[in-house]
Amino acid sequence: MSIIELILIGIGLSMDAFAVSVTNGLCCKNIKAGRTVMTGVCFGGFQGLMPLIGYFLGRGFAKYVTAFDHIIALVLLGFIGGQMIWESFKKDENENESSILTGKMLLMQGIATSIDALAVGVSFAALDNVNIAFAALSICCITFMFSVAGVIIGKKFGNMLNNKAQLVGGLILVGIGVKIFVEHTFFS
């Protein structure tokens, strides 16, 4: 596998994490640099870990993992997004506090956005010319960069959207969950 192919795979896998990072930036307007970096570490870490797990599970378990990965992503992202949408309607219009990005929420988002990487790891096991350690590290680094950039971009737009950011963010998360579910159910 060439370095270009690996970079393209890393970029493709990081797109869901990027979109969720933008959402986090939208909803958590006062997000600090430490939490921004933590988002990148969490998403990058899961994106790097999942191909390793998938690689070692190999072909024997692939049909069991891929049979449910899209449902898990839909439930996790749907729950988080639905909760954000609900909170956006409950908020008082004069309330200025922004959402707080908790470790639990970040962990759930990291798992939900990295499930596709598990399937990629399984496909890596079928190839002869893959250095799985280098591949996983590359995917991790690419996702880290995209996630940090996503939070920064979301933070900029979140200031423009003000109190509607949480609603928009929730809709985005639910949409990503539905997208993953539809892609895996009807197009794979």
Residues with Cβ within 8 Å of 134's Cβ and at least 6 positions away in sequence, in order, are 6
Q: Give how many domains the chain has, as a whole number.
A: 1
Can you tell me the distance from the alpha carbon of 186 to that of 181, in angstroms, rounded to the nearest whole number? Answer: 8
User: Mean per-residue pLDDT for 6-29?
Assistant: 86
Higher pLDDT, 137 or 59: 137
> What would the pLDDT profile of 21-41 be if each residue is shown by its tens digit?
988 888 876 788 999 999 999
Q: Is 28 left (phi over 0), alpha (psi -120 to 50) or beta?
A: beta
Split at pLDDT 50, 70, 90, the class of 149 is very high
> What would the pLDDT profile of 64-114 be if each residue is shown by its tens digit?
666 777 787 778 778 777 876 887 777 554 444 456 778 888 999 999 888
Instruction: Confirm if 182 and 112 have CB atoms less than 8 A apart.
Output: no
Can you tell me the distance from the alpha carbon of 17 to that of 28, in angstroms, rounded to the nearest whole number? Answer: 16
Domain that holds residue 26: 3-186
Residues with Cβ within 8 Å of 46's Cβ and at least 6 positions away in sequence, in order, are 110, 111, 113, 114, 117
